[in-house]
Structures are given as structure tokens and as C-alpha cells.
Amino acid sequence: MTNLLILAAEEGEHLVQAGDGGWWADTAGIMLILPFVAFGLIMAFGKRLKHQGGEIAVAALGINLVWATILFVANLTGGVLDQTTFEIARIGSGLVFELGWVVDGLSIMMYFLVNFVGLLVFIYALGYMKGDVRVPWFFAAFSLFAGAMLILVGAPNLVQMIIGWEGVGLASYFLIGFYWDDLDNVKAGNKAFMTNKVADVGLILGAIIIGVTLGTFDFDALDLAAIEHSEALAGVALVGGFLLFFGAMGKSAQFPFHIWLPDAMAGPTPVSALMHAATMVTAGIYLMARTFPLFQNLATEARGWMVAIGAITLLAIGLLALVANDIKKVLAYSTVSQLGYMMTAVAAGGYTAGLFHLFTHAFFKGLLFLGAGSVIHAVHSNDLTDMGGLRKYMPTTYWTFVVGSLALAGIFPLAGFWSKDEILATLQFEGYVAFMWIAIAGAFVTAFYMTRAVALTFFGEYKGHAEPHESPRIMTGPLVGLAIPSILFGLLNIPGVSWPGIGNFTEWLGIRVVAMGDHHAEAIDFALAGMGFGAALLGIALGWMIWGKDRNTQQARDRFEVPALYPLLRHKYYVDDAALGLVWATSNPLARFVDWTNTYIIDGIVNAVGGGTKFLGGLVYNGLDQIGVDGVFNGLSAAADSAGSALRKIQTGRVQEYAAGFVAGALILVVLFVFVI
């Protein structure tokens, strides 16, 4: 395949020419480095500090937030587009390996998101993790995650993104298995890492194919090439795009790679809030957004598969939230479902829609997780059946949680409503009508299970054994801090509305959006919005009917459980079992083969060598030594012995015989000397 080296790979030329980012953009790299510095400091002397190193982590993100906020503000109207890279290595034919950071609309949005939500979660964690085990390591690993995530979102090319990708995977492994005293937590961490690793195969292969074919890994160049040479790149787009999508499925928990996310709830709640709701899991969506033109090249039918996977994830996993009794699991399934929404949107071509939902979801899902953590902290249990009537004891938590739930359900005018509506509009525009209906159904299910969660937790009578109390301000503060954006941020992207001085979300994402051919509705489609809103209201109503009215959860459960569907849901569609079976089926024969080879071939060779040597040794010993050498010596001694035995017979003891010998000897001598000589 001919190497299509793209013009834009040369330095300085961008997709669109825009203003320089200024000093703040040039130094934005500090955001990527600071969390690692924090990591080192916390590991060095975090133990000695009052909050066990949490102060350092908070400080790092706080400083980062300065940059993020300034850049964010600069981008509101200015449209920043800048990139700073440092060449690290170069492969002869032109493949360059660069590291650096991008400062454009998309990355600024992500910088802001990661640092803002991250800071609030870190502050929350100061209170939540107080008195827990290994707190310095917690904050160190968390800082590590934050740094890796920033490296990921600030990546100017596929290679750095993969570096950040693997970094967040590693931090996720550490933090999921944080309470490694319990083996189940360790297994959950392994499951997350392994599932992601399987998907990463696709990511890396896709990156290699794209990079080698186009001669560059740079996103800028990639997008330019995809736009300008769309026909020539059709094959690459198909293969590379699908492989990248495959990688995104793992990190963003699309069906069937979703199995790790619910189990990841084994980690501390702040981890679940930041990593597995707001930021890390969105990396897959982010990847799709970064390489968006590549996917635009694909025909509608090819993209349809990706949209379908998103839709399946959306609905099927959402249903699982209905039967989960662990409050964190409910939220986990909900997260997977919402990721399905995002993936559907982006795959369908809704660049803005998907990213907007990512943006809003981070706030209200983070809020919900922190709220759940507050409840767990108070009740010392994750189980919904141990809760009930908590709104009396924890008002702040209650109210913020309700806000988050409503936002998630998509109730006007909270954030979720706007972002979901945008997704529905995109699906309709691009022609994926069937998936649009699935999305509406998903909205119903979302509202349904969130009502259940809220009702079982905060309403009715308290059924647990602890003494519930409101959490300290250090924890409720961030709750409020996240509730406000959950309420307001939806208004940032009302179709057709651009707030003066602030602009709207679409504009923030930058001019790139238009160039990439993103569709953006100019006005609200009231019919569609109404359908989405109606589905949500229906869900709340139905949920309240089943779980709200009746204070007895057992009766409610009985009423709800549909005999046919329930076992399927209970076993999570047997996907986990299928995955385990697949792994077993592939690795077991291989392991057995290796074992056989080892026992019979390798051991056989070794044994044969040993046996052969032993045989040879025996041969030398028995043949050569015993018979040969010993034989010679034994023979000599035997000869001497027999000679002696024979000769001693001369000593008969008879004097006459001696005399005879004497005479004979003398005679011989005489003859010899006299006659011969």
C-alpha cells in the first residue's frame, strides 16, 4: 500500500488557521506534568501530612485548574487552536514520534472537565478516605490517574494517546484493587485490566495500520487526510476505524466489553466517581471524536454496526440496573448505558451531540456517585435493602442526589434533557430511526431505575442497623459543587442559542467542527424533545408507582419480577459467563499443550540426556575401568600370586633338595665360567 504522506504533516500547517493560544497555551504542558510531581511527593512524604498526602493531590489539581479555567475562558469566544510538540524519535522513512500537548476546543473542554470534576472529587476524598487504610497510596495512584488522563486528552498524536490510555488503565487497576485484602477486589481489578487489554489489541493494531499507511500518527494530519482524500482512504478508514472502535469499546464499556465496569465498583467510591463515570471511561468516546473524519468516510451502513453496538449497550445494560441491589452497581450500569448513548451519537455522526452528553454526564454522574458514597459512608452498607428513609437524616445528600437523578433521567430543564435531546436529533437526522426509538426507550428505562434507586434509598423507613447522619461539609461541598452544573450546563447548548460573551458548546469545540461536517440542529425539534421528556416522565411515574408508594421493598420486588425476564437479567445476560468460558476454552488447551510439551518433550530430552550420560558413565566404569584397567592390575597381581604360589613349592623344607639345587647351581656356574667364558 502506497504511503500517502500528507502535506499537513509538515510543521506549522493546521486544519484551519487560528489564533495562537498565548503564553497559557504554550505552558499548558504543566497540567500534564504536575500530577506526576504530586505522585512523587505523596509517595515520598505523604504519610507525615495531616491528610496523608491528599493536600498535595488537591493542590496539584487546583493549580491545574487555573490553567484549565484560563484556557477555557480564552476559548469561549476566541477559538483557541494551538499545539506544542517535542520530537522524541524518528524512524528513517518519516514516521516521527512526538510528545506534547494540544490546546484546542476539544482538549480545553476535557482539561476543564478532568481538572474541575477531579478537584471536587479529590476534596470529597479527603473526607471520605479519612481513617482508611493506605491513604497516601490512594492519593498517589489517583494523581497518577489524573496525570495519565491529561496526557491522554492532550495528546497530539495516536502514540501519546495510547501512552495515556495504558496509564489510566494501570491506575484503574491499582485503584479498583485498592482494598486488596479481599481477593474479590483483586479479581475485579484483573478483570478490568484484562478486558481492556483485549480491546487494546484493536486499538494498537488500528493505530499501527493508520499510522504506517498515512505516514503519520498526528491527529491534525490524520483529520486533514481523511477530509481531503476521503475516497483513497476508504479501505484504511474501514479497517483502521473499526479497530480503533474496537479499542474504544473496551475502555468505554460497550457491549460485550462492559463486564468490567460493574465489578470495578470494588474500588473506593471517589474512584468510581471520577474514573468510572466522569473521565476514564469517556476516553473511548474521546478517541472517536479525535479521529472523527475517519469515521465520516465510512458509509452509513458500515457505521450502522457501531451505532447498533451503542444502542444495544444503551438498552440492555440499562435494564440490568433494574435488578441490581448494590447502589453503586445501579450507577455503574447506568454509566455503561449512558456511554452507549455517547457512542451511538458519535458513531452516527453527532460529534457535538456525543461530546455534549459526555460533558453533562460527567457532572451529574459524578454527583450521583459522590452522593452514593455519602450514603454508604453513613449507613456502612452498599445494599439498597439496608437503606430507606434517609432523606430525613441526610438532606443535602438527598437533594443533590435527586438533582443528579433528574438530570440523568433527562428532565427539562436539567442538563441531561438537553444532551439526550441532541442525541435523538442526530440519530433522526442521520437516518438511524430504529436506534432513535431504542434511545427513547432507554430514556424510559433510565428514569425507571433511577426512581427505584431514589425511592429505595431515601424514602420509606430506615431498615438498616447503623445510625445514619449527614456527611461532613468536606463531602457535601463537592456535592453541591457538582449539582449546580448539573442544573445549569444544559443551557449551554440549546440548539440555535448562543449566549453573548459565553457562546455555546458547539462553538467551544471549535471551527474544526464545521470543517469536519458535523450536523448541528438550528432549532429545537419540539416533537422529538417532547417524546424524550415524555418517556422520562413515564419512567418516573411507573417507578414511583412500584417502589415509591409501597414502603415494603420485598413486596415491590415480588410485583416487579417478571419470571421469564428476571433470571436473564439476574445473570447479566450470561455475558460474564460467556467471557469466562471463552477465556477458559482458549487458554486451557494451550496450557495443556505447553504442559504436555514440557513434561514429555523437554523433560524427556533432559531425562534422556541424563540417562544417556548415566549409561555412558556406567559403560566406562564397568567396561573400561572394571574390566580393562582393573583387569590389568588384577591380572598382574594374580600372575604374581600364582607365580609366588608356584615358586614357594621350592621350599620343601628338605635339606637334601636344597643341597641338590646348590650343587646343580654351582655346577652350572663352573661350566659357565670355565668352559664357556
Smaller CB distance to other proteins: residue 591 or 667? 667
DSSP state of 101: E
Quote the least distance from Cβ 634 to other proteins, whole Å: 24
Smaller CB distance to other proteins: residue 48 or 648? 648
- Scan residues 616-675 and list those touching other proteins (CB under 8 A): 648-656, 659-660, 663-664, 667, 670-671, 674-675
Smaller CB distance to other proteins: residue 1 or 650? 650
Collapsed DSSP state (helix, strand, coil) of residue 602: helix
Closest by CA position to 556, among listed 415, 378, 388: 388
- Scan residues 596-615 and list those touching other proteins (CB under 8 A): none
Pairing between strand 81-90 and 96-104?
antiparallel
Quote the least distance from Cβ 659 to other proteins, whole Å: 6
Using CA atoms, how far residue 58 sits from 53, 120, 125, 368, 482, in Å, is 9, 9, 10, 21, 16
Size of the site for other proteins (CB under 8 A): 18
Smaller CB distance to other proteins: residue 631 or 661? 661
Closest by CA position to 314, among listed 345, 290, 289: 345
Smaller CB distance to other proteins: residue 16 or 663? 663
19: left (phi over 0), alpha (psi -120 to 50) or beta: beta
Cα–Cα distance, 296 to 241 (Å, whole number): 10
Quote the least distance from Cβ 652 to other proteins, whole Å: 5
Quote the least distance from Cβ 676 to other proteins, whole Å: 12
Quote the least distance from Cβ 671 to other proteins, whole Å: 6
Angle (CA) 206-212-218 rounded to 5° is 80
Quote the least distance from Cβ 661 to other proteins, whole Å: 10
Quote the least distance from Cβ 642 to other proteins, whole Å: 14
Q: Torsion angle, CA of 317/321/326/332, rounded to 10 degrees?
A: 50
Residue 665's CB: how many other CB atoms inside 10 A?
A: 10
Smaller CB distance to other proteins: residue 88 or 663? 663
Site track for other proteins across 64-93, x = CB under 8 A:
------------------------------
Quote the least distance from Cβ 645 to other proteins, whole Å: 9
Quote the least distance from Cβ 643 to other proteins, whole Å: 14
What is the dihedral sign for C-alpha 586, 589, 592, 596?
Answer: negative
Omega prior to 256 cis, within 30 of 0: yes
Report yes or no: 419 and 504 within 8 Å, Cβ to Cβ.
no
Smaller CB distance to other proteins: residue 554 or 645? 645
Which residues are CB-neighbours of 42 under 8 A, at least 6 positions away? 53, 56, 57, 136, 139, 140, 143
Smaller CB distance to other proteins: residue 638 or 660? 660
Smaller CB distance to other proteins: residue 530 or 661? 661
Residue 566's CB: how many other CB atoms inside 10 A?
A: 14
Smaller CB distance to other proteins: residue 12 or 653? 653
- One DSSP character per residue, 402-467 reads HHHHHHHHT-TTSHHHHHHHHHHHHHHHHT-HHHHHHHHHHHHHHHHHHHHHHHHHHSS---SSS-
Quote the least distance from Cβ 647 to other proteins, whole Å: 9
Answer yes or no whether residue 563 interacts with other proteins by CB under 8 A: no
Cα–Cα distance, 280 to 274 (Å, whole number): 8
Cα–Cα distance, 288 to 145 (Å, whole number): 21
Smaller CB distance to other proteins: residue 639 or 670? 670
Quote the least distance from Cβ 636 to other proteins, whole Å: 22
Contact residues toward other proteins (CB under 8 A) are 648-656, 659-660, 663-664, 667, 670-671, 674-675
